[in-house]
Amino acid sequence: MNELQKLYDRIIQQVNINLRELDFDAEPYSSGLIQPEQMNKFYAFYGITTDHPLNLVFKNSGLAGSYFLGKCRISDSLLYKTDIRGDELKRQGHSFKCQGFDIILQQDEMVDIKNSALVKTLVHNFSHDPETPETFFITDTLSMDYANIHGAPTAGAFLGPFATVDLTTIYDCVIGTYSYIQAGEISHKTIAPGTIWVNSPGNFNFYYRHDPDLLRKYAAVVAGDLPHGLIIDFIEQHEEDFQRVFDAVNLEAIDSVPKTASLDRYAVVLPKTQIADNVLVSQRAYLSNSSLGKGSNAQENCYIINSTLEGNNVTAHGAKIIEADLEKDVFVGFNSFLQGKSEARLRVGKGCVVMPHTIIDNEEPLQIPEGHLVWGLIRNQNDLEENSISLEKFEKQTGGFHQGRLHFEGEGKLFIKAFKDRIHHILDVNGAFFDGEKNTGHAQRNKNLSLNTIQPFQFGEMEGLYPNITIEL
């Protein structure tokens, strides 16, 4: 047994120790997830820009196909085609405000990953935990395909495929397949697959769970097997298009990209795609025969195919938009799957909010009215009526209500305000409001990003692991 397999076994053992009180065994889910013989076949790569402090430290780890930007420390971990994006980490002297406390950072924040195995997982943003404002930590964690760890320090956890932890510190938890959690802090909990939970204690509590039988068609995993379902099938159908992007050293520039927009080197852009000013297209995004209007963005692991986005549209990490027309100011949340058909297109009205982990798989032409919140599984007009509400009506809710499988408690106006504020922040930091001089964001600054590759050991007991490396600016 080589050192890489020994490391993997130690990581899974540590995850199981952390989750022992939940009586959860991660080992069957780890089987075949990271294949040692694959770990030496892909280079890792990192970005250099004068806008972000560079301090990368890799120790006793495998990094196959993974991307790093900013300040990251990786030790005793295995990362497979994972993105660690530290371009929004807090800086020394930054004032971090939380519940009346004003915390001044004594040093730059760093992403710190230890004893963890992350597979095709996105790690982004910064720690929202006031106890660890200078360290965005991920320890003793196994994360499966297309999960998101977004501003969510994580210690002792299992994340199923397409799971998202967002602005939530988690300790010793199991997060089920296709679940989305934004709850501040949770510990020693098992979250069932398909749970959408947004909780702000004292303000609001949004809880929805997909029907388990219906969800299995789209995303599922069982112990001893790899993830499966229509969403995985969809991704696999398009994997081949990424091969050339990663194999080629130099790619031809796309002249039609405006100077105020940014198209990542590791994104796939196929013909008949139009990109307007202030558009951000992140790594591993996939665009085909689509139009992205001014200020729109396609974040990591997004797919936009045969669709139009009119402008200032947010397509959050992992979201997929197929055969759809979105008017201005539409937000599509994490890992949502919007699948219209050429003969049954999906149309989304201005200012709509599509909740994270929403599935729209319409069997007939479908129109979501302007200014609506939608969630859950929607296949037809009846589903839409059960799983949507106008933002105006939601804002008037006090005390709570039930609608279909949705349970809401608290003040609707606080929930809607929180979402609107966050959408505005996302557009702002991505450069959607750049006016030629002010309000620059990732869409403008990322054009000054250069990329470098690093390689693993190719032979012997260390095959698939990387040498200990420190890279500083």
Specify the pLDDT at position 155.
Answer: 98
* pLDDT (0 to 100) of residue 74: 98
- In the chain, where are the structural domains located? 3-226+450-472, 238-395+413-446
Give the pLDDT score at 98.
78
In this structure, the dihedral spanned by the alpha carbons of residues 363, 364, 370 and 376, taken in order and rounded to 10 degrees, is -20
Looking at the domain covering 238-395+413-446, what would its CATH class be? mainly beta
pLDDT given for residue 32 in this prediction: 87
Please tell me the predicted confidence (pLDDT) of residue 433: 97
- pLDDT for 139 equals 98
**Low-confidence spans in the chain with pLDDT less than 50:** none
pLDDT value for 473: 78
238-395+413-446 has the same fold as 3-226+450-472: yes
Residues 6 or more apart whose CB falls under 8 angstroms from that of 362 comprise 339, 340, 341, 344, 346, 378, 379, 380
The pLDDT assigned to 253 comes to 61
Would you put residue 424 in left (φ > 0), alpha (ψ -120 to 50) or beta? alpha
The residues facing 332 across adjacent strands are: 315, 354
CATH number of 3-226+450-472: 2.160.10.10
Condensed to tens digits (0 to 9), the pLDDT of residues 340-379 reads 999 999 999 999 999 999 999 998 999 999 999 999 999 9
pTM, rounded to two decimals? 0.96
Instruction: Give, in order, the Cα–Cα distances in Å from 280 to each of 115, 419, 446.
Output: 33, 20, 9
